[in-house]
Amino acid sequence: MRPENIRNFSIVAHIDHGKSTLADRILLQTGAISEREFRDQVLDDMDLERERGITIKARAVAIRYQRDNEEYELNLIDTPGHVDFHYEVSRSLAACEGALLLVDATQGVQAQTVANAYLALDGDLAIIPVVNKIDMAAARPEEVAEEMDSTFGFTPEECLPCSAKTGMGVDRIIDAIIEQVPPPPGNPDDKLRALIFDSHFDEFRGVIIYVRLIDGELRKGQRVKMLSTNATYDVTELGQFRPQRRAVDSLSAGQVGYVIASIKDLRDIHIGDTVTDAANPSADRLPGYEEPKPMVYCGIFPTDNDDYDDLRQALLKLSLNDSSFSFEPESNEGLGFGFRCGFLGMLHMEIIAQRLEREEDIDLVQTAPSVTYELGLRDETTISINSPDKVPDPSTIESWSEPIAKVSFITPSDSIGPIMQLCQDRRGKYLRTEYLSQSRTILVYELPLAELIVDVYDRLKSITRGYGTLDYEIIGFQKADLVKMDVMVASEKVDALSTIVHREFAMKRGRRLVQKLKQEIERHMFPIAVQAAIGGKIIARETISALRKNVTAKCYGGDISRKRKLLEKQKEGKKRMKQFGRVEIPQKAFLAVLQME
C-alpha cells in the first residue's frame, strides 16, 4: 500500500463517551465487519481472537476502504481505555497522524476529554472533533460544541455530530479521516525502523508485538533487532487485524501490524523501542516514549505462601503488557514473601490487582498504597523511599519531600464549594477556576499526591453525584513536614500498617486509623490493643474487647448445617487473613488508612 493512501488514526474520549461503539460503527460502515459482528462489539472483546490457540487483543485494526476508485488503508489504533494513563494513551498516539476527539453530547467536555486532547495536540496530530450520541433525548449538541470551542478553539462548524449507535453522521467522519488526517511520512526504501507501541504475551506463540512502520519494509523470515536491547529474532509471522488476524508477507513504511518471532524472553521487548533489520540496521532510534515513572507503590503478598512463584510469573507477564508497572521482591514479618509493586496511579493499582486475582486466580493481600518520598539526610545524601518500612532512623533525616499533583476537576458549578473544602482538608493549594459553560466549571488545585490517592476520587464522585471528573499530572516534589506513624496490634509493631502523614494531621489520622482497625479486626479470645505511635509516643489507642466464651459455645451447639456454614464462612475469611503474633489481621485492615471519612 502506498503511504499516500494510508491513514493512521486513533479515537480519544472520556470514559463511556462511546469510543468502542464508534470504532465498531466505522468497521461496519467500511464493510470490515457484518451487522451481526457489530452487535457483538468487536473491538471490545478481549477474548475474540482464538485461532490456532491464539488469543490476541485487537489493538490496531486495518480497514480497507474504497473511495472514488482509490483504495485506502485506514488503521484504527485503539488507545487503552483507562483514564489516568496518559503514558499509555500517548504511546498509541505516537503511532498515528490523527485522532478523533469524541465527546458525549449529553455529558459535554470531561476531565479526560481535556487530558487526551492535549496529548494529541502535543503529538502534533490532526484532530477531528466529534460530538457523539446525538440520537439521545438529553443530547445538547450545540451547547457541547460551544464547550469544544471555549476549551480547545474548535469552531461549532468543525465539530462533526454523530450517533455511533445509529450510524448517523459516521460517513462524514470517515470522509474527514481521509481528508484531514495526513498520510504517514517515512520512506519505504530507507532502512527499517518500526515502533513497538504495544505487546501481548501468548502462551503458544510467545510475545506478540504491535508495530508501526516508520521507514523501510518488514518481511516474513527477516532477522530483526530490537535497538535498545540488541536482541535479535527471526520474524515467523507478521500481519494485520482486519479485524481477524490475517498474515501477510510484508509490511511497509506507514503501515501498522503485528509481529510474531518466537520471543520467549519478556525482557527483550520494551514498548517504545525501535525494531530494525539485523543485517542492515538503522542507527537512529525513534524517539521512544518517556519512561513512565511509577508514582504509587504497594506491597502485594500471596495469601498462601506456596503461590509465591506463581505470583512472580504473573507479575512478569503483566509487566510485559504494561511497562509502566514495576515490581521487586519484598519480605515482611507477618506478611511473608511478596513484592513491592509500582503503579502510575490508584486506578492502575486496582486494575492490576483485579487482573491478578481474576486472570491468574491468586489470592492476594495488598498493603495500603504509598507514594515515593525523597529524604534529605543529615550526611547530605538524598534517598528515595517508596514504603514506610524503609524510613531510616528519624534522627538522621533532615528533610522530607513529596510528589505534588496538579489536579483539574471538571464539575457542576454547584459543587464547587464542597470540592474546595475537600481540597483544603487535603493540604491543597488553589490555583484557578475556569468556566466551561454556565453550569460547569474547571477547578485547578495543587495537591500532595499522597492525599490525592487516599479518597479524593471517591469523594468527588459522591459530592457531585457522579458528574464530576478529575485528571492530574505530577509536577514535581515539594518539601513537607512529614512523619512516620507506626501501628501496634497487641503490642506488636505491624510494619505493613505504618503510614507517612503530615505532622499537623497525625493526631486526627491516627485516631481515625485505630478506629477503623477496631472495626476491621475481628474479636479474639483476648482483648487486643490497637495503637498508633510516632517515634515511640502513643498518639491514639482503641481496644478490641475479647470474645465472650459463650458466643462460640453457642455456635458449636448449633445444628449441623449452621455449623458447616459457619466453618465455610471462616474458611472464606481465612483466605485473606495474615497472622501477626497472636492476632489475625484481615486484608481489609491494610486498606483502612484509605477510609478517612
Q: Which residues bind ligand GTP (CB under 6 A)?
A: 13, 15-21, 81, 132-133, 135-136, 163-165
Question: In this complex, which beta carbon is closest to ligand GTP, that of residue 165 or of residue 576?
Answer: 165
**381 belongs to an annotated ligand binding site:** no
Is 491 annotated in a binding site? The answer is: no
Contact (Cβ atoms closer than 8 angstroms) between residue 77 and residue 9: yes
CA atoms of 351 and 565, how far apart (whole Å)? 32
Q: CB-side exposure of 570: number of CA atoms within 13 Å?
A: 9
The least distance separating ligand GTP from the CB of residue 323, rounded to whole angstroms, comes to: 21
Q: How many Cα atoms are found within 13 Å in the side-chain-facing hemisphere of 118? A: 12
Closer to ligand GTP by CB, 163 or 415: give it.
163
Considering Cα of 54, then 60, then 61, then 66, what sign does the dihedral take?
negative
Angle of CA points 412, 415, 420, to nearest 5°: 125
Candidates 449, 295, 448, 325; CA nearest to 386 is: 295
The bridge status of strand 528-534 relative to strand 482-489 is: antiparallel
| Cα(301)–Cα(340) distance, integer angstroms | 9
List CB contacts of 267: < 8 A, sequence separation 6 or more. Answer: 229
Instruction: Return the C-alpha cell found at 280.
Output: 542492515
- 17 annotated ligand-binding residue: yes
Distance CA 369, CA 344 (A): 11
Shortest separation between residue 174's beta carbon and ligand GTP, angstroms: 16
Residue 42 Cβ vs ligand GTP, minimum distance, rounded to whole Å: 11
Q: Is 257 annotated among the ligand-binding residues?
A: no
Query: CA–CA separation, 249 vs 235, rounded Å?
Result: 10
Q: Which H, E and C letters describe 251-318, residue by residue?
A: EECCCEEEEEEEECCHHHCCCCCEEEECCCCCCCCCCCCCCCCCCEEEEEEECCHHHHHHHHHHHHHH
Q: How far is the CB of 176 from ligand GTP (least distance, A)?
A: 17
Burial of 4 (0-12, 13-18, 19+ CB in 10 A): exposed
CA distance 173 to 74: 12
Three-state secondary structure call for residue 132: strand
Q: CA-CA distance, 514 to 506, in Å (whole number)?
A: 12
How far apart are CB 125 and ligand GTP at their closest, in Å?
A: 18
Is 232 among the annotated ligand-binding positions? Answer: no
Shortest gap between Cβ of 216 and ligand GTP (angstroms)? 34
Residue 528 CA to residue 534 CA, distance in Å, equals: 20
Query: How crowded is residue 128: how many other Cβ atoms within 10 Å of its Cβ?
Result: 23
Helix (H, G, I), strand (E, B) or coil at 143: helix
State the burial class of residue 78 (Cβ atoms within 10 Å of its Cβ: 0-12, 13-18, 19+).
buried
Q: Which is nearer to ligand GTP, 82 or 219 (CB)?
A: 82
Least gap, CB of 91 to ligand GTP (angstroms): 17
Smaller CB distance to ligand GTP: residue 172 or 588? Answer: 172
Measured from the CB atom, is 16 or 492 closer to ligand GTP? Answer: 16
Q: Measured from the CB atom, is 113 or 319 closer to ligand GTP?
A: 113
Q: Which residue, 134 or 454, is less far from ligand GTP as judged by CB?
A: 134
Is 334 marked as binding a ligand?
no
* 163/323 with CB nearer ligand GTP: 163
Report, in Å, the least distance between residue 19 CB and ligand GTP.
3
* Closest to 130 (Cα-Cα) out of 119, 38, 116: 116
Q: Is 19 annotated to bind ligand?
A: yes
Q: Least distance (Å) from ligand GTP to the CB of residue 138?
A: 9
Cβ of residue 456: shortest distance to ligand GTP, in angstroms? 21
Residue appearing with cell numbers 470490515 = 32
CB of 18 to ligand GTP, least distance (A): 3
Q: Is 588 annotated as a binding residue?
A: no
Residue type, 563: K
Listed in sequence order, the DSSP H helices in 40-85 are none
Nearer to ligand GTP, 21 or 274 (CB): 21
Binding site for GTP, by residue number, is: 16-21, 132-135
Residue numbering of the annotated binding site: 16-21, 132-135
